[in-house]
Structure 1
Amino acid sequence: MQNNNLIKSFKDLEVYQNTYKLMLIVMKEIIPKLPDNEKYDLKDQLSRACKSVPRLIAEGYAKRHQRAGFQKYLDDAMAECNEMIVSLEQVKDLYNLTSVSISMEGLIDLYDKSGRQLYKLSVAWTNFKNKK
């Protein structure tokens, strides 16, 4: 998304685009490399959390005209980013994953950045709604 373009869809939000790309990396490159004994724990948590961030942004955008609609979903998406940070730190510390397109620290940093973007969007949305 370029700064001067109007937001016509949730897909125009940079944070949506970034978290969708992160989800693809986690689903295609991280989860398949984890051991089978993590199937119902870390694999499941990573899968649910990474997919929920862009979904929450999309669902919240659809409810942006409700008083607290968008805000609640942005808060939930921030929480899921934090869950992803903890889960990725666990993967980094428990398993030595190699041959991924981005380092675990890089993924963690990008989820942290996404959480900050969501916070800024939340503040901007609150200020916008209060001006109306």
Structure 2
Amino acid sequence: MATEKQVIKTYRDLEVYQNSYKASLTVLTQILPKLPKEEQYDLANQLRRSVEAIPRLIAEGYGKKHQRRGFDKYLTDAMSEANETVVGISYCRDVYSKQVDPKLCEELIDIYDKTGRQLYKLAEAWRNFQKKQD
């Protein structure tokens, strides 16, 4: 069964944006509040910044898609943030397994791993599209 390609009119139409935004809400509401107070200025703060950065970078990059390297740079930065997020959630799972749900952490790690792969493929497709435009 073939899937129909969706027309992308805005960054909100990108599956990778939708998934990263939804996952960020889960981290912000179900992981970070359960971390101990001593982590609020280190692990929690860094994890908050990385999960919020991914959808923001996708949105900002999409807005610069007509610039030569605009979109690609932001997608690359979002990939880096996705990798950083995996490490942060792994710390939560491994160090604070009594405070946070390890199963939820595993699900989030899988989502952010997939996000990184989706961002890579999107950046690659965008570079190929740009080459065809030259």
TM range (shorter): over 0.9
8 Å contact 2:35–2:100 — kept in the other structure?
no
Alignment of 1:47-86 (within 5 A): 47-86=48-87
Deviation at 1:96, TM superposition (A): 1.1
The one-letter code of the counterpart of 1:10 is Y
Find the aligned partners of 2:35 and 2:19 in 1 and give their Cα distance: 23
8 Å contact 2:34–2:100 — kept in the other structure?
no
Deviation at 1:99, TM superposition (A): 6.9
Alignment of 1:89-108 (within 5 A): 89-97=90-98, 100=101, 103-108=104-109
Q: Give the paired residue count.
A: 131
> Could you tell me the TM-score, scaled by structure 2's length?
0.93
Deviation at 1:105, TM superposition (A): 1.0
Number of the residue aligned with 1:31: 32
Deviation at 1:4, TM superposition (A): 2.0
Q: Which aligned runs of 4 or more in structure 1 are off by greater than 3 angstroms?
A: 97-100
Number of the residue aligned with 2:7: 6
8 Å contact 2:27–2:51 — kept in the other structure?
yes
- Could you list the per-position Cα deviations for residues 3-62 of structure 1 after superposition, in whole angstroms to 9, with x for gaps in the alignment? 422100000000000000000000000000000000110010111000000000000000
The one-letter code of the counterpart of 1:96 is S
**What fraction of aligned residue pairs are identical, expressed as a percent?**
54
Which ranges of structure 1 fall in alignment gaps of 5 or more residues? none
Number of the residue aligned with 2:113: 112
Find the aligned partners of 1:90 and 1:73 in 2 and give their Cα distance: 26
> Could you tell me the TM-score, scaled by structure 1's length?
0.94
Number of the residue aligned with 1:125: 126
1:17 corresponds to 2:18: yes
Q: CA RMSD in A?
A: 1.6
